[in-house]
């Protein structure tokens, strides 16, 4: 039975945010990946288009999320469903770190507006 202890989670940082990875094929998951996201105050991630569905649940804080041109303010307890092919921007305009829990399927890729493709290690 794969159990990932909090002390065993792998931390990655990119674009000013922190991704604490718990479930990946390297930790025993076959189909899904899951991580805790920490988005510091004042952070605005670049727009990116995702190749797989993501379920983004805000645990703490408040964010402004733009999904395919539609902007919503989300607060702790809200869940955003990001469909494959959607373009997503996440911004934390507050003075506190926001914390999220995200799940997706193995193999997620993201494409930035300039055409750069990312294969995030926390989702593969």
Q: What are the tens digits of pLDDT across the range 11-49?
A: 999 999 999 999 999 999 999 999 999 999 999 999 999
Beta strands 48-50 and 62-67 are unpaired
Confidence of residue 2 (pLDDT cuts 50, 70, 90): confident
Tokens of 2: 């794969």
pTM: 0.93
Provide the percentage of residues in the chain whose pLDDT is more than 70. 100
pLDDT of 26 reads 92
pLDDT of 88 reads 97
For 7-23, b/e burial (b = at least 16 CB within 10 A) is eebeeeeeeebbbbbbb
**Domain covering 7-35+46-123, topology:** Jelly Rolls (2.60.120)
């Amino acid at each position: 039975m794969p159990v990932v202890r909090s002390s065993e989670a792998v931390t990655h940082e990119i674009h000013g945010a922190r991704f604490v990875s718990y479930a990946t094929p390297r930790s025993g998951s076959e189909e899904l990946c899951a991580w805790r996201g920490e988005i510091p105050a004042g952070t605005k991630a670049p727009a990116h288009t995702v190749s797989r569905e993501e379920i983004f649940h805000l645990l703490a804080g408040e964010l402004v999320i733009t999904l395919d041109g539609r902007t919503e303010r989300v607060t702790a307890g809200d869940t955003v469903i990001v469909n494959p092919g959607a373009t997503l921007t996440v911004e934390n305009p507050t003075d506190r770190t926001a914390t999220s829990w995200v799940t997706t399927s193995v193999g997620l890729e993201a494409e930035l507006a300039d055409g750069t493709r990312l294969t995030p290690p926390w989702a593969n």
